[in-house]
Structure 1
Amino acid sequence: MSQGKILITGAARGLGLGMTRYFLQHNYQVLGLDIDKYALTELEESRLPGLQLVHLDVADEQAVQTLSRLVERQFGRLTGIINNAAVSHPFHEPLRHLNLAHWHHTLAANLTGPLLISKYLADLLMPGSAIINITSTWAHQSEPHCEAYVAAKGGLVALTHALANSLGPDIRVNAISPGRVDITDYQPGKSAPPPPGPADHRQHPVGRVGEVEDIATLARFLLSAKAGFITGQEFILDGGISKRMSYVNNPAAG
């Protein structure tokens, strides 16, 4: 028996692919969107039951508007949306050389995209449904030369509580901010990043980096009626690493 019909953006690669497979395994019907034609083709060839795929740039307003009509005709009412599509590489050239085209592209995919998906598809959500925005711990902490990515993810955290107020009470909106997640098994057509090593695991208070299922399990809960009193919130899933002091030679100040 189907648990519902959900839409996942950025569904063909990385965390999005992992969540797509997770929700299909838990008897959801999934409409997956992605801009990567190669990854979409690979996923389509898997012929996974319950999965429909659409090639789409989430930052293209006309395409998203057309998608909403397609969903209404062919997919029916939705029970959830996961805004996951993103330009995921956080770094760019030094600030003084920052190319504004990169800035605009990153904000378009990571912030404008979730806005457009919410704007045009929220009316297709059944009352009591939910939207989840996949943000990042980069919204709260930075390294040099990551202004575009950090600004977009920080904006998405703020957009989450704004949407929660605009779309409530019928629709809930929450954010999940993952830390380091191992996606080495979900990178079709590209050389996968190296798997996390012992040092990567040890630096987390829980003793390991995140797994796709950690994120997907929380997303599934937030989409469910059991989370009916939760909206406008951000959930940080980083194994506790953001709560660990990172000063070098930090004196034990009382």
Structure 2
Amino acid sequence: MSQGKILITGAARGLGLGMTRYFLRHDYQVLGLDIDKYALTELDEAQLPGLQLVHLDVADEQSVQTLARLVERQFGRLSGIINNAAISLPHHESLRQLSLAHWQRVLAVNLTGPMLICKHLSGLMRPGSAIINIGSTRAHQSEPDSEAYAAAKGGLIALTHALAISLGPDIRVNTISPGWIDVTGLQPERSESPPGPGDHRQHPVGRVGEAEDVAALARFLLSSEAGFITGQEYVIDGGMSKRMIYPGAAAD
């Protein structure tokens, strides 16, 4: 028996692909959206039962409006939305060379996109359903040259509690903010190496995160068991954001 119909943006690669596979394994029907036509084709060729795919730029309001009409006609009421689509590489040129076009595109996809999805599809959600925005620990911590990504993810956390108030009590809205999640096997065209032993050891839990860690938390937050939870941010980073990293701190 289906656990419900959910929509996942950025569903064809990386963390989104991991979550899509996870929810399909747990008997959800998934409507997966992505802007990457090549990744969508590869996923479509896998012929996974319960999966429908749509090519979409979440920052294009007209396309999102068309999607809402498609969902209403063909997919029916939704029990959940996971806003995962993002320009996920956090780094850019140095601040003094940061192009306005890059800044605007990152905010358009990572922040305006979730707003547009909620604006046009929340009316198609069942009472008691939930929306999950995928944030990042980079909303709270930064490396140099990551202003656009950090600003967008910080804005997404604020958008989450605003939506929770506007859409409650029928729809709950929460954010999951992952730390380091190993998605190297979920986007094989990239040349990144998987985490090494030192990368795992530095985490208080002893390992880097996996897509299933995020998906399992998302599944709980979509369920009726999380019915008293809304407007919140859940950091899932293996404890890294709580670890003191100043030189010599271990001896203090």
* Shorter-chain TM-score above 0.5: yes
Report how far residue 164 of structure 1 moved: 0.2
CA contact (8 A) 1:10 1:34 kept: yes
Gaps of 5+ in 1: none
1:198 aligns with: 197
Structure-1 separation of matches of 2:71 and 2:196: 42
Structure-1 separation of matches of 2:96 and 2:59: 26
Deviations 1:159-203, CA, capped at 9 Å, x for gaps: 000000000000000000000011112115x13521110110011
**SS, match of residue 186 in structure 2:** coil
1:213 aligns with: 212
1:186 aligns with: 186
Structure-1 separation of matches of 2:39 and 2:127: 33
Gaps of 5+ in 2: none
Structure-1 separation of matches of 2:126 and 2:79: 6
1:140 aligns with 2:133: no
Structure-2 separation of matches of 1:152 and 1:238: 19
Residue type of the alignment partner of 1:174: N
Residue type of the alignment partner of 2:163: L
Q: TM-score, length-normalised on structure 2? A: 0.98
1:7 aligns with: 7
Within a 5 Å distance, the mapping from 1:1-254 to structure 2 comes to 1-188=1-188, 190-250=189-249
Residue type of the alignment partner of 2:95: L
**SS, match of residue 185 in structure 1:** helix
Structure-1 separation of matches of 2:154 and 2:6: 25
**SS, match of residue 129 in structure 1:** strand
Report how far residue 250 of structure 1 moved: 3.8
Is the alpha carbon distance of 1:52 and 1:240 closer, same or farther for their aligned partners in structure 2, counting shifts above 3 Å? same
The alignment's C-alpha RMSD in Å is 1.0
Aligned length: 252
CA contact (8 A) 1:185 1:192 kept: no
Counting aligned pairs with the same residue, the percent is 77
Deviations 1:132-151, CA, capped at 9 Å, x for gaps: 00000000000111000000
